[in-house]
Homo-oligomer: A and B are copies of this chain.
Amino acid sequence: MYLPQHFAETDAARISEVIAAAPLACIVAQTDSGLLANHIPLLAKPDGSLIGHVAKANDMHQIMRDGQEVLAVFTSLEAYVSPNFYPSKQEHHRHVPTWNYITVHVHGTIRFQHDRQAKHAAVGLLTRVHERRVNGDAGWKMGDAPADYMAEMLENIVAFRITPTRIEAKSKLSQNREARDYDGTIKGLRESGQDRMADAMQDRATPPVQME
């Protein structure tokens, strides 16, 4: 992707946070019938590989070759930034609109897994993470469902693993703005109801620096 240095996210912890915060990746591949994209929740394993599963009825596991190049795009936040947010606009009016966003692109190779163990592990790991987030200790567990039902469910899916070959991450968060405009952007985002992006900008450990 287009990645000016001041927007490049190189902090591995932050990159992991984006994947964890926005797990519904858009997985893209070039196929014989053109570009194919599917939204699929993924989980990053400690070794960096991404695991997930698709319905057996989703022919992605037949169209894509084992070992094929795919791109998994995670986007945790995005917000329109108006020039009106910048206090310096009143002085020189030398501003144009832009968009802030946080995205991680994981390029890698995909391999599908049809064995019960891999499928069980993919469902179990994904479920545990998301149930804990939504329901805490009352989270749903695979064991809550009848064994015959879970066996049937696992029969109807295919697991896969994406082994990363290259990761590009971009945190486009007004880092190229002078301090008063950075702060004004946070204020403007809040006033236009975009609090999550405002929080992300406020929370950044690195103070804004003037790059223009």
Query: Is A82 in contact with chain B by the CB < 8 A criterion?
Result: yes
Q: Mark A1-13, 1 if CB is under 8 A from B, else 0.
A: 1101000000000
Number of this chain's copies in the assembly equals: 2
CB distance from A87 to the nearest CB of B (A): 14
Per the 8 Å Cβ criterion, residues 107-144 of A in contact with B are: 107, 123, 126-127, 130-131, 133-135, 138-140, 144
B35 contacts A131, C-beta separation under 8 Å: no
B107 contacts A71, C-beta separation under 8 Å: no
Bound complex: CA of A83 vs CA of B29, how far in Å?
31
B130 contacts A34, C-beta separation under 8 Å: no
Q: A28-B71, A140-B83, A149-B93 are in contact. Are A1 and B37 (CB under 8 A)?
A: yes
CB-CB nearest in chain B for A83: B140
Query: Is A195 in contact with chain B by the CB < 8 A criterion?
Result: no
- Residues of chain B with a CB closer than 8 A to A57's CB: 2, 4
